[in-house]
Structure 1
Amino acid sequence: MTFRTFSGLLPLLLVPVSLAAGFVPDISPVWVFVLGAAATAVLADWVRRATEQLADRTGSAVGGLLNVSFGSVAELVLALFVLAGGHAAVVQAQVTGSIIGTGLLGLGLAMLVGGIRRDRQRFNRDSIGLLSTLLILVLIALLLPAIFDLAQRKASPGLDPALADEKLSLGTAIVLLGLYGANLAYTLVTHRDMFGGGEEDDPGHDRAAWSLGRALGVLIGGTALVAVEAELVSGALEATAGSLGLSSTFLGIVVLALVGTAADLFAAVVFARQNRMSIVFSICIGSAIQMAMVVAPLLVLASWALGHPMNLVFGDPLDLLAIGATAFVIRAISADGETTWFEGLLLIGLYVLLALAFLFLPHSP
């Protein structure tokens, strides 16, 4: 075994350590939460690698479906366990955090790292323009249930809007899933040539370096372990928030969201260093879109089966501001087809400001 291989496998030690911590009776729940979150991030990266290996073997159409199915598996599984614990508000916070985490922090870090030694970096403006337009659609879809709730309360002050909110959220979830499916058909079938990698493709990229059995084994095993880790993290959530003096919502927006998107953030930075910015934008914007158009709708549908119905009414205006700011900033940055390191720094700064606002926002612990 080479040193590089050993160093690549070393982070996996977090998995047995975190599982062992969950059975130690006197250990602080903060350690259980931190170790479980770190292990989930490591496993998410391995699931991403396995998905890429399978996609290389199956071609773009099936590969795209695999990326949709398993690209956000850590976020989805983690959110399901938190939702099963009755923390619907934390799950909504995780949705917000994932969108601003990849759209602002992830993209900003990639632009900063990739552009620090370059005058500017360019990307495919046509394909990224479609993604940014889709993100604006996501913003409108997420704004609608909240505005509907407000309008309903104003029109009928004495009427409980919960039932109508749930019905609208279910309808919105179904429509978003249908639109995302149509987006896959558009990008992978009818207009596949438009979304090719172009000149940024790396000819030295090792395709399908893993055997089929290894890729399937890592994918299935990684997904199963993510579920186990997610149960540990969700179980320690409330106690961790109390010990640190933070709200569970803040942990959902910052910590849980970054845990679920860690693999995407790391991949974006690596591709930015290789000057492959079209892929960087596809990863960051695509992850935010997938969270809003796939993961969130699936959570709404699954919440009924779990007995903890969740709607898409973001009751906190700060959530909507954060998602809206992310969508419009990305739209503005993608308009000219090029980026600089300073634009990346601006995105990171905006993310920090939003995180500080959520940190100081009063919430019940």
Structure 2
Amino acid sequence: MGKIFAALIVVGVPLTIAGSLLHWPSVAMFIICSVTVIALSSYMGRATESLAIVVGPRVGGLLNATFGNAVELIISIFALKAGLVGVVLASLTGSVLGNLLLVAGLSFFLGGLKFKRQTFSVHDARHNSGLLIFAVVVAFVIPEIFSISMDETKTLNLSIGISVVMIVLYLAGLLFKLVTHRGVYAALEGHGNAAHEEEEPEWGKKKAIGILLLATAAVAYVAESLVHTFAAVGEQFGWSELFIGVIIVAIVGNAAEHASAILMAMKNKMDVAVEIAVGSTLQIAMFVAPVLVLISLFFPTPMPLVFTIPELVSMITAVFLAVSISNDGETNWFEGLTLLAAYFIMGIGFYLL
């Protein structure tokens, strides 16, 4: 599989450059760019997996989520530059749904087919549950409700204020998990890192970081070409801006995390798999979304943190379903299938909107 992705990168990047210069049809460019981004994401996933073995599950999961979300952040910045605010908000919704329902669902389902019962840190699960409810149910609902009685300027100012608070809380959460309380709950639960110490990383630390940086730079270039195809492709296939953002951009932008989380679950490394799926959701909601609000201020069309009702209801539903399933610190294939079923129901809804 690695050789196939390498070949796709070697062919895809030059084709993207040629297509951009020669103005190839939008559908062809959409396919080329999407496949190239997924292939590049696979290398980012392998690099972060190597780093996860070296630095441990929490930091490894955080790195995977961060570099996986870097792809979507780059795509979203170019979309904001092009004035596609609706696509960006929809892609943020798609990331939350994709990580909590599709990534976690596939991880639990495929891992559960191999292992009857899989466990992960119940303390991490409960900590993440509280933050998920805050990020989506509190921080995303408040702008929606208050914007009803506000003009556009006040709504944008409210979004800026909420964004700053969320970024500060997200950074404080990292300080809590990685510094002040690192290993405290793991020691209480008896979770050790023996499996991670015994396993040899595919790449060394320097090589993995080098590949991550190169892949991220390549994604930045390809992502700009991909964004320029959205309008034409949507018109040709009858896809709404909402469907492109929620399903297409979210799946392409988060390909690295999808692959890594599933791989970890099938190796029974559920702490890493859950950290990737849930940690990525938290990073999207509490860091990427607020950062995009602040970055949008430098473009002609600023982005308030106001989602549509279908987006908001879908995210709230996904959060409560994921929280109820993961709060006990263990999972099985049927719980994974339940999450997947919810994702497909929502996907059908967004397609028909």
Matching residue within 109, 112, 115 for 2:109: 112
Q: Distance in 2 between matches of 1:130 and 1:271?
A: 21
Query: Aligned pairs, how many?
Result: 347
2:32 paired with 1:35? yes
Alpha carbons of structure 1 residues 60 and 108: separation in structure 2 relative to 1, 3 Å: closer
Q: Distance in 2 between matches of 1:119 and 1:131?
A: 24
2:319 paired with 1:327? yes
What is the SS of the residue equivalent to 2:101?
helix
The residue aligned with 1:341 is 333
Structure 1 stretch displaced more, 95-104 or 202-211: 202-211
What is the SS of the residue equivalent to 2:297?
helix
Q: Distance in 2 between matches of 1:75 and 1:8?
A: 19
Q: Give how far 1:341 is off.
A: 0.8
RMSD over aligned CA atoms reads 2.4
Matching residue within 109, 113, 121 for 1:124: 121
2:269 paired with 1:279? no
Q: Kindly provide the CA deviation profile for residues 109-147 of structure 1, in whole angstroms up to 9, marking residues without a partner as x.
A: 111111113322222111121112211111111111001
Indicate the percent of aligned positions where both proteins have the same amino acid: 35
The residue aligned with 2:351 is 359
2:192 paired with 1:188? no
Q: Give how far 1:48 is off.
A: 4.1
Q: Distance in 1 between matches of 2:280 and 2:199?
A: 22
- The normalised TM-score by structure 2 is 0.90
The residue aligned with 1:157 is none
Map of 1:66-81 to 2, 5 A cutoff?
70-81=67-78
2:200 paired with 1:206? yes
Q: Give how far 1:19 is off.
A: 3.2
Give the gaps of 5 or more residues in structure 2: none
Q: Give how far 1:34 is off.
A: 1.9
The residue aligned with 1:158 is none
Alpha carbons of structure 1 residues 183 and 42: separation in structure 2 relative to 1, 3 Å: same
In 2, are the aligned partners of 1:112 and 1:344 still within 8 Å (CA)?
Answer: yes
Q: Kindly provide the CA deviation profile for residues 53-108 of structure 1, in whole angstroms up to 9, marking residues without a partner as x.
A: 56766789987885675341101000000110001011000000000001101111
What is the SS of the residue equivalent to 1:305?
coil
2:169 paired with 1:179? yes
What amino acid maps onto 1:318 in structure 2?
A: P
The residue aligned with 2:290 is 297
Q: Distance in 2 between matches of 1:336 and 1:85?
A: 44
Map of 1:234-313 to 2, 5 A cutoff?
234-313=227-306
2:98 paired with 1:101? yes
After superposing on structure 2, the runs of 4+ consecutive aligned residues of structure 1 that deviate more than 6 Å are: 55-65
Q: Distance in 1 between matches of 2:111 and 2:62?
A: 29
What amino acid maps onto 1:209 in structure 2?
A: W
The residue aligned with 2:13 is 15
Structure 1 stretch displaced more, 6-15 or 246-255: 6-15
Q: Give how far 1:335 is off.
A: 2.2
